[in-house]
């Protein structure tokens, strides 16, 4: 663990406990979004409930966002720095590879704006593209 990891927690008003530092460090080392069970395997013998609560705290404070990729298990990825407890700014496309089953954030691919009828108030949007990632094309 380093001071940068700890500072990321402090910047989001999250008390930097040992478990929170471990979970954040693990998330920082990932190239794709990751499920609770995969985090649990990576941090074994850490307690599943503690990891889950840590992820929920991170989500509430704007440090991670959950992605519903259709697998039945949410995946977690780090948020952009602009996210905060009141509003996530992760309005980007997510890509699910049907071959390796990895879910990727594509922050440079923004979700296009949509116009809803006046009686609808959006609270969140998710755009998931399914296909084959560059690692699996070959």
Query: Binding site, residues?
Result: 88, 90, 97, 100, 133, 136
Instruction: Give the residue numbers of the binding site for Fe cation.
Output: 88, 90
Q: Report yes or no: 84 and 62 within 8 Å, Cβ to Cβ.
A: yes
DSSP class of 72:
S
Token readout for 10 is: 């402090």
Binding residue positions for Zn(2+):
97, 100, 133, 136
């Amino acid at each position: 663990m380093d001071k940068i990891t700890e500072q990321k927690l402090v910047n989001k008003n999250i008390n930097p406990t040992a478990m929170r530092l471990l979970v954040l460090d693990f998330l920082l080392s990932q190239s794709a979004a990751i499920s609770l069970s995969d985090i649990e395997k990576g941090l074994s013998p850490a307690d599943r409930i503690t990891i889950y609560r840590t992820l929920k705290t991170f989500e509430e404070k704007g440090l991670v966002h959950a992605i519903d990729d259709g697998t039945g298990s949410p995946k977690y990825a780090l948020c952009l720095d602009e996210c905060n407890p009141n509003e996530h700014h992760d309005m980007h496309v997510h890509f699910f590879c049907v071959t390796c089953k990895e879910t990727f954030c594509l922050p440079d691919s923004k979700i296009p704006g949509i116009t809803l009828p006046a009686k609808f108030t959006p609270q969140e949007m998710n755009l998931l593209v399914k296909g084959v990632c560059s690692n699996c094309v070959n």
